[in-house]
Amino acid sequence: MISKILSIGLKGVEGYRVQVEVQTLIAVESFLIVGLPDASVKESRERVTSALHTLGHRISDRKTIINLSPAEQKKNGPIFDLPIAIALLKSIGVIKTPIPATTCFIGAISLDGTILPFEGILAAALAAKKLGFSLLYMPYDASLPELKMDGLEIVYVSSLQEVIQHLSGQATFPLHTPKASNDSEQSFDKDFADIIGHPFAKRALEIAAAGEHHVFMTGPPGCGKSLLAETFPTILPPLSNESQLEKVSLYQLVGMEFGLTHQPPFRSPHHSASSVSIIGGGQNPKPGEISLAHRGVLFLDEMAEFSKKTLDMLRQPIETGKVTISRARSIVTYPAAFLLVGAMNPCPCGYLGSNTHYCTCTPKQIQSYQNRLSGPIRDRFDITLFLNSVNMEKTKNESNDTSAIIRERVWEARNRQSKRYGKDMCNGRVSYDILMKTSPPSEKVKQLMQQMAIKKQWSNRVQVKLFRLARTTADLNGEAQISESSLWEAMSLIRSNEHYRKERRNFGIKER
C-alpha cells in the first residue's frame, strides 16, 4: 500500500511543498529514502524505526521505500521525521483515517517517539500558511512567539502517540499555549530627550523613521553621530505580528537568541566583519547582518573602514530588499529590507570642518579617504547630515521631545502611507509611478523642482529622492499634498548646510 503525506521543505526561509510517499513491500528487509536526502534526512530511518518500535509497531521483514517529492530538490534537516512516521503508520494500517491534502506535518522525532522542534521551525510554519495549508501539526517550542495566522489551524503535539490520537478523533492533552509577546518589558537605555543639541539632525532622523529613508552622517569625532544612530531605534514604531515572525525566523536560522518583543532589530557590525558575515553565505548559506536587520536598522559606524568590496555588495539589497546567495549546493534568498544608517569621519584625522580643531590632512589624503565610499553607495542615501560639536552651555536649557512623542508622530505618518498605498509600504520604498499617481505635485512644486534641478544639475534619481522625502515630510506635517515648504525641507536633507536656507530666502519662502 502506498501512502502519501504532505510536508514542507526549506531553502533559506522560503518553503516549498514536499510529498512524502511510503510503500512497504513483503521482501528482504531494507529501508530506503530517495529524493536527494542529505545525511540528516537519511538518519530519519533510525529515529523513526526506533520511535515506532517504542510504540509497539514494527516494520521488520519488509522493504520500505520512502520518496521525497519533488525529487530534484535537495532535502535537509530532521523536519521530515514526523511526516515519514505518519506515512509509515498509514501504510501498515495503524492510521486508517483519511488525511486531507490540506494537512501538513513537520517535526523531528526522538527515539522514544517525542516530537522535537528543529532549526527553522518558524520559517516552515510561515511557509505552510503561504502554501495554502489549512491544518499544521508541529512540535511545541516555548521560545517561539504566539502564532496567529488566518486560515491556518496549528495543532501543537509533543509525541507521536498524540498525533495518532488526534488523527483518530480522540482528545489530546496537554494543550500547549505559546508565550505571547510582551512589549511592556521592553525598555530603552537612550532617549532623544537626553540628546543635547542637533535639532536639525533629530528632525532628519524623524523623517527617516517615518518614510524608511537611508541616512548618512559625517562629522568630527565626538560630535554625536553614534549616539544619534544608537538612539534612532527608540523612535521606530513596533513591528506588526507578521514582521515579528519574520524577524524571529531569521534569528532562529542562525541560532541566535531573540526577544519576544515587537521592537525592530538594530544591528551594528564591527568594521572588521567579513563580507560573508554581513551579506550572508557560507557552505550552507546562512543569513547575514543585513538579513538580521530586516524590518529594522543596520548601522555601519566608521563606514570608511569597511572594505570597499563589502560596501559595494550592499547596493543590490538596498534596492531590492532581499539578497540572493548562490552556491554550488544551493541558491537561497533571504529578506533584507533594512534601513541603513552610515557614519564616518570627514577625513583621516577626523577634524575637517570642525569648529574646535584644526585639520592636519592634505587634500590628497582627504580625497583618498572619502573615495573609500563609492559614488553608487553614496547615492543610495536619501539623507546626508553634516554634524559638528555642540556648545553645551548654550543648549543645556533647551527642551526636547521624548522618543515616545516622536515615535507617535512617526506612527501616524506611517499609517497615512499605508492607507494611501493600500499596503504596509513607506515612501522610501514606493515606486515613482505609484508616488506620482497617489500624490501628484502641483504646478508650483513642479516648477520649483525644475528650476533647482537645472541649477544644481541633479540627476533623475536625486529628483525622485527629493519627491519621496517631500512626501514623507508632508505626511509628518499632516498635509494631503506635497507643498513647497515640504520640498524645501527635503532639499535641505540631501545637503544639510546654510546654502539651502539662503536659497529659501531668495525664492521668498519664509523659515518654518
Q: How confident is the model over 81-116, as pLDDT tens digits?
A: 999 999 999 988 889 889 999 999 999 999 999 999
Q: Which amino acid is at 156?
A: Y
* CATH code for the domain defined by 431-506: 1.10.8
* pLDDT in the model for residue 495: 64
DSSP secondary structure string for all residues of 33-80 = EESSB-HHHHTHHHHHHHHHHHTT---TTSEEEEEEESTTS-B-SGGG
Handedness of CA 320, 128, 134, 248 (dihedral sign): negative
Per-residue pLDDT tens over the stretch 285-337: 899 999 999 999 999 999 999 999 999 999 999 999 999 988 777 788 999 99
What distances in angstroms separate CA 66 from CA 74, 111, 177, one per listed residue?
15, 19, 33
349-404: pLDDT as tens digits: 988 888 788 889 998 999 899 889 988 898 889 999 998 888 776 666 666 889 99
CA dist 490 and 493 (Å) reads: 5
Spatial separation of the C-alpha atoms in residues 165 and 369, rounded to whole Å: 68
What's residue 278's pLDDT?
Answer: 96
What is 2-167's CATH topology?
Ribosomal Protein S5; domain 2 (3.30.230)
Class of domain 184-403: alpha beta
Q: Which three cell numbers stand for residue 278?
A: 554581513
pLDDT-derived band at 169 (thresholds 50, 70, 90) equals confident
* Average pLDDT value for residue range 147-159: 88
Note the pTM of the prediction, 2 decimals.
0.87
Determine which helix (DSSP H) or strand (DSSP E) holds 155, and give its type and residue range.
strand 153-157
Report the alpha-carbon distance of residue 466 to residue 474 in Å, rounded: 12
Q: Which residues, in sequence order, are bridge partners of residue 281?
A: 286
| Residue 25, strand partner residues | 63
Q: Which of 214, 381, 377 shows the shortest CA–CA distance to 311? A: 377
Cα–Cα dist 292/278, whole Å: 9
Strand partners, 297: 266, 339
3-state secondary structure of 18: strand
155 contacts 189 by C-beta, under 8 angstroms = no
State how far the Cα of 445 lies from the Cα of 426, in Å rounded to an integer.
21
- Can you give the residue ranges of every domain in the chain? 2-167, 184-403, 431-506
